[in-house]
Structure 1
Amino acid sequence: MSRTLLQGGQVVSMSPQRPDSERADVLVDGTRIVAVGEDLEPHGAEVVDLTGRVVIPGLINAHLHTWQTSMRYLGADWTLPQYLAMAHGEIARHFRPGDIHIATLAGAVTQLAAGVTTIADWSHNCVTSEHADAGVDALTRAGIRAVFLHGTPHGLRDRSHDVAEIDRLSAGLIATDPLLSLGMAIKGPQQSRPEVVVADLRAAADRGLLASMHQSAGPPGPGWRAVTDAGLWSPSTNIVHGTGLPQDLVDTLVAAGATFTCTPENELGQGHTTRLAERVIAAGSAPSLGTDTEMVTSGEVLIAARLLLAVQRGIQHDDALTRTGLGAGEVALTAEDALSWATVEGARALGLADRVGRIEAGMEADLVVVDARMLNLWPPHDAVASALNANTANIEAVMVAGQWRKRDHELVGVDLPTIKDELRRSGNEFARRLRLPGTLDKVRRRVVRRVVDRQLSAQAAQRP
């Protein structure tokens, strides 16, 4: 097995047993980290000099729809109702398995380039087994660590998740790829009837799988009470957005070990509303981070981390201003907190906290090298803040399970021209449909928008 010694970098381990940052070496043997410390002996390992760089755990994007990558920024000015109507009500039904494959591959490779080593791929356009298999195969080809969250298109509130398809997937390629695991992207209490969400969560629990769901733009409906009464909230439950959930329900969910994922840029821009993270923090927990859809916003999880930190600090300052007429004298949340949301908390949300998210002996060797010698980060006075304020251009190297996926600022083993060409061909077809709809498409668009508006209005009127 190969051994690599990362030597001389400033290490931000995110480990509670180590300093916030330190000059240290990291020794990798095979897929795992075997030692972290000063002046480690290479013992035959390849030595990589990282003087002037910052080494961090692989970033984790805990909520991403890679299948939409080919439609990048077509919805940059869409609200949530427009996104639901156009992306799901109109375009999703035209996706072929090949479209899912190239979008997922490109989306995963883009994440690797940006320092993300693990994604929760919320693949909710698996209309056939072939669509699902295309997504799984693309993740394998990308070489990224991923939780493939199998989902189906919006609608069908009366239909439980297809557990036969879940069982088929769990016995297939996912079972043999050490970087992949399976979960369920369920419609949840907001988008399905109480008996359906209870059945879905029981199915996930019976199989030991992560179940993730959306909640946004409205108060919690009766399904939330049904799940609480059934005792089905657990650490294997993940709530995305979570906006509209009151503090007492958040307290109940946190006490049960459920996790939350915020996608702040998307939530701010599309109208999900933003008041969740402070409630999770008040309950004694912390959020993970996602970027949601590149149809609408950037896929860089470090942007999400900085935005959520700014939003939470803004809330703190506003509260202080209301009480005293002045902003807060000190901030309650730090750059290290924000980086933890994109590492430690992401690992916890995906059930991978014992494998990734920290740089410690025994953990999987998912590592990112940030080039702090570049002008936008120079001089690197604070390694944590430098890492938080990095962008894709600063990501010099990325390692997943001991394998280089990016090195010397270049992706390894990736045929970018072919990926870009296939992505463009696939995406151009969807762009044409959006920009030049036929007569029937225009009629369908109006009908779908009315249905979406009616559903969102009904959600807004719900009470538990």
Structure 2
Amino acid sequence: MTDSIVLRGGTVLTMDDSHTVHETADVLIVGDRVEAVGEALAVPDGTREIDASGGIVMPGMIDTHRHMWQTAMRGYGADWTLTQYFVWYYLEHGKTFRPEDIHAGNVLSAWESLEAGVTTTVDWSHGLQTVDHADAAVDALQSVPGRFVLAYGNIQAGPWEWTADPAVRDFFERRRTGAGDLLGFQLAFDVTGDPAFPERAAFEVARDLGLPVTTHAGVWGATNDDGIRLIHENGFAGTDTIYVHAATLSTDSYQRIAASGGSVSVSTESEQSAGQGYPPTWQVRQHDIPVSLSMDTSVWWSGDLFSAMRTTLGADRSREHLEAHVQGDTVTALSLRAEHVVDWATRGGAHALGRDDLGSLEAGKKADVVLIKNDDSPVSFPLLNPYGHVAFQAQRGDVHTVIVDGRVVKTDGRLVGFDPAGVRRAVDATVDHLRSTMGEETWRAGMNPALPEGNKVLDNPYQYTDYQSESTHGARGSMFGDTDPGH
């Protein structure tokens, strides 16, 4: 690790409490921390200098929900609906993934994150059928020089079953020991709304192990208000609980999330394309619920947060305009601004993970830093509104430098230590395994999978329980779900 680094002369988005922007400033890193931010900083002898002039220096971005194990199937489900995703992974083929396939997908996804300036990624790893799969997932994450959180999950078994396995508890004892702050852990499972609340046992394990819970909430056809109510009424809703999507919920659920201090991970590309529900950004803002951004899975979409910021602004604004037009009105000032989504992509993620040492460029904070600069691109100038530039103009190819924990992991637009040939071989082996296991005809048909006989998947995609509830796809009552009058 380079002992000290200075990024000179860039436009610096500090993302501090005041959202201070320095038009021309330096960021000095010493060890794994930001030492100072300011103009013409004096630096220690031998400091590595990076020319940031004409570029934007910002905190590393944070993705709070990505199914990294699915990345070896990049783009395979481009035309899927959410129901088809459930059919493929939950009902039919997710169980065919071996530990080495989890490893291959995680390595590919981890490098993809770093290339796009995402310095922290939550691996929402719900394909961990065995502890061997979990060890493979962690081995992959630790082989890449980024910051990661393993959210341990298993869609092939009930959360009350797999969390009770002594081998799972042993896994956490082994892998948390000496892991350092580059690797964190969560438990990842969903709550169906079954009034018996069988998920209680999993929440109790999470509490016993001191692990936060992340859960897919308010997902059309899967989870609903009943699940939020059960979590809250049984005392398991906390400030470290992350509710992913939270798109098809009532005002009551948003109030419960807000009252307990939980946060929502919005995956806008996923919600608006797959159909979890209309992205709930205006509802969570209305209830002052903290927001982070996530990309969900590369089996559909890209793995960068530039796309997340862009689509989030587009979805929120299109809803605002349409609602106004329905009333014969016109929106004359936008509610959601570029500055807000840049905050969600950085500070929002840090808050969700309980990492107040991440998400901003301030003295003493961890040195997770991104430089957006591309002197060869006509899109790199003029730089007039830096928040707007990040949210609407920049893309992964404009990420010049990425620093994680004081270590340069991408420089001059190229990843450091990335072995594309080796990663490709592992991913190709996974694809070959899946195709041969499924058969070529089934593999090709899987890009547009037919629904199974019956309609259980519409009431409950979780094959580990027979509980069904029509409330997961009941009529929403209005175009955009339950909203308060005037919103």
Aligned to 1:203: 205
Structure with the largest fraction of helix: 1
Aligned to 1:185: 188
Report if the CA contact (8 A) 1:157-1:193 is conserved.
Answer: no
Superposed CA deviations along residues 311-367 of structure 1, whole A, max 9, x for unmatched, are 1112222232233x2321111111110111111111111222x12111111111001
Aligned to 2:137: 135
User: Is it true that 1:452 corresponds to 2:462 in the alignment?
Assistant: no
User: Is it true that 1:383 corresponds to 2:383 in the alignment?
Assistant: no
Offset, 1:293? 1.1
Q: Distance in 2 between matches of 1:86 and 1:424?
A: 20
Aligned to 1:4: 5
Identify the match of residue 426 of structure 1 among 430, 434, 439: 430
Change (3 A) 1:193 1:159: farther
Superposed CA deviations along residues 235-294 of structure 1, whole A, max 9, x for unmatched, are 111111112211122012112111111111111111111142211100013421111111
Superposed CA deviations along residues 26-75 of structure 1, whole A, max 9, x for unmatched, are 11111111111111101222222211111111011111001001111111
Q: Distance in 2 between matches of 1:21 and 1:63?
A: 31
Offset, 1:399? 0.6
Gaps of 5+ in 1: none
Aligned to 2:292: 288
Q: Distance in 2 between matches of 1:79 and 1:339?
A: 28
Identify the match of residue 89 of structure 1 among 77, 88, 91: 91
Change (3 A) 1:356 1:436: same
SS in 2 for 1:375: coil
User: Is it true that 1:309 corresponds to 2:313 in the alignment?
Assistant: yes
Change (3 A) 1:288 1:224: same
Q: Distance in 1 between matches of 2:220 and 2:362?
A: 40
Give the superposed CA RMSD.
2.4
Identify the match of residue 461 of structure 1 among 463, 471, 476: 471
Aligned to 1:268: 272
Q: Distance in 2 between matches of 1:344 and 1:135?
A: 26
Change (3 A) 1:6 1:419: same
Aligned to 1:407: 411
Gaps of 5+ in 2: 462-466, 475-487
Report if the CA contact (8 A) 1:15-1:359 is conserved.
Answer: yes
Superposed CA deviations along residues 413-462 of structure 1, whole A, max 9, x for unmatched, are 11111111221221233245375239xx9xx9865885423526944436
Change (3 A) 1:290 1:327: same
TM-score by length of 1: 0.92
Report if the CA contact (8 A) 1:175-1:181 is conserved.
Answer: no
1:181-260 superposed matches below 5 A: 181-190=184-193, 194-215=196-217, 216-218=219-221, 220=224, 222-260=226-264
Q: Distance in 1 between matches of 2:67 and 2:43?
A: 40
Report if the CA contact (8 A) 2:60-2:359 is conserved.
Answer: yes
Q: Distance in 2 between matches of 1:454 and 1:145?
A: 36
2:117 alignment partner AA: G
Change (3 A) 1:445 1:311: closer
Superposed CA deviations along residues 384-408 of structure 1, whole A, max 9, x for unmatched, are 2222231111011111000011111
Q: Distance in 2 between matches of 1:446 and 1:312?
A: 31
SS in 2 for 1:172: helix
Aligned to 1:347: 350
Report if the CA contact (8 A) 1:85-1:449 is conserved.
Answer: no
Report if the CA contact (8 A) 1:71-1:430 is conserved.
Answer: no
2:334 alignment partner AA: V
Aligned to 2:169: 167
1:352-367 superposed matches below 5 A: 352=355, 354-367=356-369
Aligned to 1:334: 337
Aligned to 1:398: 402
Report if the CA contact (8 A) 2:5-2:49 is conserved.
Answer: yes
2:401 alignment partner AA: A
Q: Distance in 2 between matches of 1:18 and 1:446?
A: 48
Aligned to 2:111: 109
More moved, 407-416 vs 19-28: 19-28
Q: Distance in 2 between matches of 1:71 and 1:10?
A: 37
**Paired-residue identity, %:** 30
Change (3 A) 1:461 1:404: same
Aligned to 2:57: 55
Aligned to 1:320: 324
Offset, 1:157? 7.0
SS in 2 for 1:56: strand
Report if the CA contact (8 A) 2:28-2:35 is conserved.
Answer: yes
SS in 1 for 2:141: helix
2:178 alignment partner AA: T
Report if the CA contact (8 A) 1:210-1:351 is conserved.
Answer: no
User: What is the count of residue pairs matched by the alignment?
Assistant: 456
Change (3 A) 1:289 1:202: same
SS in 2 for 1:142: coil
Report if the CA contact (8 A) 2:60-2:402 is conserved.
Answer: yes
